[in-house]
Structure 1
Amino acid sequence: MSEDTLTVAVETAIDATDDLVAAGSPARHNMTQRIADAITTAVVERRLMPGTKLAEQQIADIFKVSRTLVRQALNQLSRDRLVTLEPARGAFVARPSVEEARQVFEVRQMLESSMVRQLAASITDEQVAQLRAHLQAEREAVGRTDVTGRTRLLADFHVVLARQLGNEVLAQLLTDLLSRSSLISLMYQSSHSAEHSQDEHVAIVDALARHDADAAVALMAGHIGNVERNLRLNPRINDLATALVPPAGPGADDPAT
């Protein structure tokens, strides 16, 4: 990614995070946090790709701050596993391993299954209406092919569910996991379409509105499982002999196979 592209990605993310502040987001907004939020938003909205170099001086120039504050933000993102710090090379958007990807989705399955089971028992009509409004915003973003908007809204759906339980710790955990999920989807080329995700969200809300905990759990598990299954997580062949020698059996000699 060129310096100009990095600048555009981060500046666009600054605008997005400032919109969240205006909307009453509970996140802290000192300058270090603002830099971290902007980089995270650029990752979630798929404007910063895995492996992108995050040049300290360039980011400092964008925010008009010292490199010290930028370094603090990058260190924070490193602890959150969104950034990798390499000695003598600098900071890069993380490139999650296959095993890390699987573990992220395993943790999401555990957390979100429990979350919707609890929510199904306590959800109010007002909360259902809030979810319906969120689904409408998702649908509109998908319909107008607003990639940035729909990516953010589809991720935010899961955080909204956590906040409806009144559990801010869970909401923050999911925010971090969803940021890592976005990186994983970028790196492993998810084929799970936005339309499919949106349909699955609708089914989950329908189950919650019926207070059907078992259905909500099954639908959430299926949704997360579908996202994971549509990733190309099969490791590439590392063994040279296996890579170079075609498999024996029917069709092995067919050059069109």
Structure 2
Amino acid sequence: MPRSRTHLQVIGNEATATPSATPSRRARAAADATPANMTERIVESITTAIVERRLMPGTKLAEQKIADIFQVSRTIVRQALNQLSRDHLVVLEQARGAFVAMPSVDEARQVFQVRAMLETALIRHLCTCITDAQVVQLREHLRAEREAVKRTDVPGRTHLLADFHVVLARMSGNEVLAQVLADLLSRSSLISLMYQSSHSAEHSQDEHVQIVDALEQRDARAAARLMERHIHSVESNLHFDPRTPDLASVLR
């Protein structure tokens, strides 16, 4: 996950540290502040803010403001926004600037369709190779989810509930799949914000427990069924078709 904004500023200060700082420390700070690293940090920071529902669809992302926050040039910010645009998290509009994406209904349905296909295949495969140690790790993740839900830590629980799916992919040993899922889950977070999901965090957490139970039993059929049901449940609680009042009945 990205480092906090405060930590980013500390690193920036280390790059111009007083003479008491060691050369190796200054060298590490300078390496961390390379344009490529700063671009990636901006990408990660914005992505995390979207996943944790701190950035809403349609929010304007002003280049100069972001440049000031991270103490970088607008060129670096522009590179980060271009990458986010390729990931479908940001829309770049000529003469207007960058905005957090507002996914269409068709795009939303396609994202969940792809997730269902990938994640049911993933869970079947994982049932054949998951270790007892990995099950313990998943139980720890579930405990963290449960605690975040209980204390109504909205950003924390949102991140943990999404990351559960990426953790499963990493346990399969497929980093490419893990990255693809991370991208899809970021887009899913935008979709949930856009279409006002009524799928509760408690419900998602309960479904994750059932999936891990099936994984522990190495029951591929049950695990795949539960995963498919979970993704469908999240999608079905989105308000894709809000009721439009009849104009005549409203104005009479």
Q: Same fold (TM over 0.5)?
A: yes
Question: Aligned partners of 1:34 and 1:235: how far apart in 2?
Answer: 37
Shift of 1:121: 1.1
Contact kept in structure 1, 2:8 and 2:70, CA below 8 Å: no
Q: Secondary structure of the equivalent of 2:98? A: strand
Question: Aligned partners of 1:219 and 1:15: how far apart in 2?
Answer: 40
Q: Secondary structure of the equivalent of 2:179? A: helix
For 2:191, the aligned partner's letter is I
Paired residue for 2:129, among 114, 122, 135?
A: 122
Paired residue for 2:196, among 168, 189, 195?
A: 189
Question: Aligned partners of 1:31 and 1:243: how far apart in 2?
Answer: 51
| CA-based RMSD | 2.1
| 1:58 equivalent in structure 2 | 65
Contact kept in structure 1, 2:207 and 2:230, CA below 8 Å: yes
Moved more, 226-235 or 153-162: 226-235
- Matches of residues 53-132 of structure 1 in structure 2 within 5 Å? 53-132=60-139
Change (3 A) 1:17 1:144: farther
Count of aligned pairs between the two proteins: 223
Shift of 1:224: 0.3
For each residue in 1:196-231, what CA deviation from the matched residue of structure 2 results, as whole angstroms up to 9, or x when unmatched? 000000000000000000000000000000000000
| 1:220 equivalent in structure 2 | 227
Question: Aligned partners of 2:205 and 2:163: how far apart in 1?
Answer: 12
Question: Aligned partners of 2:74 and 2:51: how far apart in 1?
Answer: 24
Contact kept in structure 2, 1:189 and 1:231, CA below 8 Å: yes
Contact kept in structure 2, 1:13 and 1:39, CA below 8 Å: no
Paired residue for 2:160, among 146, 153, 159?
A: 153
For each residue in 1:30-64, what CA deviation from the matched residue of structure 2 results, as whole angstroms up to 9, or x when unmatched? 11010000000000001100000000000000000
Shift of 1:14: 3.7
Moved over 4 A (4+): 15-18
TM-score (ref. length: structure 2):
0.84
| 2:184 equivalent in structure 1 | 177
Which structure 2 segments of 5+ residues have no match?
10-35
For 1:118, the aligned partner's letter is H
For 2:127, the aligned partner's letter is A
Shift of 1:244: 2.7
Contact kept in structure 2, 1:51 and 1:95, CA below 8 Å: yes
Question: Aligned partners of 1:90 and 1:222: how far apart in 2?
Answer: 39
For 1:191, the aligned partner's letter is S
Change (3 A) 1:232 1:214: same
Question: Aligned partners of 2:8 and 2:177: how far apart in 1?
Answer: 20
| 1:199 equivalent in structure 2 | 206
Shift of 1:116: 0.1
Shift of 1:243: 4.0
Question: Aligned partners of 1:227 and 1:243: how far apart in 2?
Answer: 29
Contact kept in structure 2, 1:112 and 1:220, CA below 8 Å: yes
Question: Aligned partners of 1:100 and 1:176: how far apart in 2?
Answer: 14
